[in-house]
Amino acid sequence: MEEKNNNVETGGKMKTFRNHLAEEVFYWYIIKGNTEKGKVAHVGTERQLKLKIRKPTFPDGHVLLKSRKDLKIGDKWKGSMGVSEEVEIDESTKEYAKSLEKIANDRALKMLTKSERENLQKIADLLAKEVK
């Protein structure tokens, strides 16, 4: 019985497997700007970039896109270069960021002594009176 070799052959922008159909190759980017004009900020796999852009600490003004063109960080992006895969950051992500910040603040307060916490509370009360 003859053994078949299913090695991957890459030619151009298509992956072909012996005895299988060709598969299109897409490159994934996070663009600083919008889908029409911007600069490549991050390059990676779809999974890596989706995880990165959905983090609550990731700044606004970035778009997740895919393209057949092989670009590098810092390259300029034009709208004609790719297919839009924009990821919206919803309200639940923002609320999650707030809850993480609150947890971090609570941990920091737990590390303080009782007298330090009382002093901070007095300062907060004074600042609140000044604001009113």
Q: Are residues 44 and 71 in the same domain?
A: yes
Q: Are residues 72 and 10 in the same domain?
A: yes
Number of domains, the chain = 2
What pLDDT is recorded for position 17? 61
Q: Which residue bears the tokens 């839009």?
A: 84
Q: Are residues 127 and 63 in the same domain?
A: no
Q: Are residues 106 and 53 in the same domain?
A: no
d(CA 82, CA 28): 10
Give SS3 for 56: coil
Per-residue pLDDT for 75 more than 50? yes
Per-residue pLDDT for 62 more than 50? yes
Q: Are residues 69 and 103 in the same domain?
A: no
Distance from first CA to last CA of the chain, Å, rounded? 87
**Cut 0.95: pTM above it:** no
Q: Which residues contact 33 (CB under 8 A, 6 or more apart)?
A: 39, 61, 62, 63, 77
Q: Are residues 36 and 76 in the same domain?
A: yes
**How many C-beta atoms lie closer than 10 Å to residue 5's C-beta?**
7
Range of the domain at 123: 90-132
